[in-house]
Structure 1
């Protein structure tokens, strides 16, 4: 799916959605106050979509007017969603107090940065969380959306693949680096918590290739060092890929299946140097304060949720396992470099 918003003149909102099915007619859902009030099909044909090979008929453009949504000019807040994918394509909000910048928070953990997302959400017209889960065409539309100058995006995107959308002239970029051992512990416990789902045919499909890793993790005792050593000796490929230098993989490769080698660590450091704001989870206040200052937001810095005691304990055990040290050597080097840089520059 591709989409674009041409205008919002108050009494008229016009845009286009090209569905994945070239024979289908796209439909936009209008939501007001959390309630869906109208479903509007594309009604305008544009031959350009046919010429470009995007659609069989070119009937992709929709127009929202008071005829479909009574009182449209007076509605201060509304949202438009693609009816087939439920992807937000446009949000109307009062302009007062909005940050007029496109901002990307690059998540490096398996768990999203919910505290920052919640704190920044009210300050932007458009917000997209977990964008790495979107199909490539939709993600490209979200990243390249010049018609949405007030936009906050976050997700664990593979940066080399999309870095051309993240240049300083297009958006502010920010990345929060995790402690590698804490992040590995978080990922292992994330897998273990889904072991039951992996064994259930009605739910296991949602984990995709990680179903095998989750099922495998459920058989090991993470509180026992001997069990941990066996765990890393017997890791199946999907688990190894999830746990092996994940930050280096995210910064230094273009595709999830790419092999990771020492050269990727050099590329990862170079890409990290091009990110606008670089922070570390253990220096959270410095990162959040810098981000808020860059965005011109005058609000209290959010407090991140504490690391669960189980995760902290597992992270400490992992520091004693030789195999883990070898699996995180690139990420540890980057993590230490980021912390050293912050400590030297932040006071």
Structure 2
């Protein structure tokens, strides 16, 4: 999906929405703080889109005026979303003080830190969390929105595919997770996904994780011996869901690509370019650094809490040699990153 707003002069808003489906008829959902206002069809011809073969009719442009959106000029909280997926296309500048910065938070947990995303949505004009749900083309389009200087994006994205935007005005942040904690979290969530369809997973994740979801569906996660047996017998597709996910995220261009020892150095190099790096073992320090970057009161930044049940499973995983083999690259990366953090912290003192 491609989208953008090219003009908002108060009286008129013009933009485009090119849907994924070649023959789909796009429309935008317009709302404000009081609720839904209208569904507006995209009826403006973009001949370049038609000639490029991106859409059957080329009718992908939309134009909002006082005619189809009454009192448009005074609707300060107006939002425009894709009528089908409800993906945010545009939001007018915040009336309260907004942060004029382009920030991307690379999510390192399978279960996203929604509290951080929710708070960032209150201080940035454009905010799009869990970006990986929408696919690579849509994610790239979000980075290319050129009419807004106040942007917050987040998602379990492959860092290597988006590093170029670090040189185009985006500042990157991440809260790194503990390898055993993330493995415990993934096993617990994969088991849960077998009975409850997760709303935060996109189609690609559902497909790539389907084998692991089925495999762990009946696992007793309170039985350490059962977990050990499951890890030892797991087929390759299942193993890939748990194999050093952090190293793969920071060093590999494909989420399904296995990591190697050489990728550890590449991951560390990518992490060195981040504005703020935190660790789940010290979320207070992460919140402090983020508040300083954004010039926000620290009380505004949510303090991420570790789940005690998941902590218990992680403690048991630490005793299993098979779990260590799954996480070898992440364990090495985690050691060096925490060591670097300790050195940096001591220099600050």
Task: Tell me the TM-score normalized by structure 1.
Answer: 0.91
In the TM superposition, 1:1-347 aligns within 5 A as: 1-33=1-33, 35-165=35-165, 167-197=166-196, 207-346=206-345, 347=349
CA contact (8 A) 1:285 1:301 kept: no
How far has the Cα of 1:100 moved from its partner?
0.7
Structure 2 gaps, min length 5? 198-202
Q: Deviations over 1:288-347 (max 9, x none)?
A: 211221122234153435323221111111111111112212111222222222222234
Where in structure 1 are there 5+ consecutive unaligned residues? 199-203
Q: Secondary structure in 2 aligned to 1:7?
A: strand
Q: SS state of the match for residue 241, structure 2? A: helix
- Give, in angstroms, the shift of residue 148 of structure 1: 1.9
2:90 and 2:204 map into 1 onto residues whose CA distance is 31
Q: 1:205 to 1:65 in 2, by over 3 A?
A: closer
1:87 and 1:255 mapped to 2: Cα distance? 24
- Once the two structures are overlaid, the 10-residue window that deviates more, 330-339 or 125-134, is 330-339
Structure 2 residue matching 1:77: 3-state secondary structure: coil
Counterpart-to-counterpart distance in 2, 1:282 and 1:338: 12
Q: Could you list the runs of 4 or more consecutive aligned residues of structure 1 that deviate by over 6 angstroms after TM superposition?
A: none
Q: 1: CA distance between counterparts of 2:94 and 2:204?
A: 41
CA distance in 2 between counterparts of 1:111 and 1:312 reads 14
| Root mean square deviation, CA, Å | 2.2
Question: Structure 2 CA distance, aligned partners of 1:205 and 1:108?
Answer: 17
Counterpart-to-counterpart distance in 1, 2:307 and 2:93: 37
- What corresponds to 2:200 in structure 1? none
Distance (whole Å) between structure 1 residues aligned to residue 268 and residue 179 of structure 2: 15
Q: What is the deviation of 1:210?
A: 2.5
Number of the residue aligned with 1:201: none
State the TM-score, normalized to the length of structure 2: 0.90
Contact kept in structure 2, 1:280 and 1:335, CA below 8 Å: no
C-alpha separation in 2, matches of 1:106 and 1:312: 22
Distance 1:169 1:205 in 2: 27
> Could you list the per-position Cα deviations for residues 149-191 of structure 1 after superposition, in whole angstroms to 9, with x for gaps in the alignment?
11111111011122223x1442110011101111111111111
Q: Distance in 1 between matches of 2:311 and 2:45?
A: 58
